Amino acid sequence: MVMDINEIREYLPHRYPFLLVDRVTELTLGETIVAYKNVSINEPFFNGHFPHHPIMPGVLVVEALAQACGILGFKTVNKLPADGYVYYLVGSDNVRFKRPVMPGDKLELRAEVERAKRGIWKFKCRATVEGELACEADIICAERKIA
């Protein structure tokens, strides 16, 4: 299953400059997702982080992973933000950064469901660049109905 940016926008409420998933290349409902973000020098955060040595902030790498998790959760339970649902990032454990992510990198985002119970999901996540580990984290998301 492949999702382009138009379908991703149906499953994530995020918009520029915070939509951090460009494409989904693999998705197995209730199990795994593989997606990516093309990192460009045009990203607004590079103006200040850091102007002479641009590096994608680690918290945004974690956010990109969480967005991939949200897509997997939404697709698995067959719900949409348009239906009044949102996935909140409610926790991250064992976060480790192994290499910087820089302009020109294709950041691959992988998440695997460890467990899901009553709208709380735990995922094992890895972000890589050309097969090299950039970040790993356990991410917890909560599905919520919003008014």
32 Cα distance to chain centroid:
12
Which residues have C-beta within 8 Å of that of residue 123, sequence separation ≥ 6?
65, 69, 72, 111, 112, 113, 114, 138, 139, 140, 141
50 Cα distance to chain centroid:
22
CB 56 within 8 A of CB 37: no
Q: Sort strands 132-145 and 120-129 into parallel, antiparallel or unpaired.
A: antiparallel
Q: Is 49 annotated as catalytic?
A: yes
Q: What are phi and psi for residue 63, nearest 5 degrees?
A: -60, -40
| Active-site choice (14, 49, 52, 53) | 49
Catalytic residue set: 49
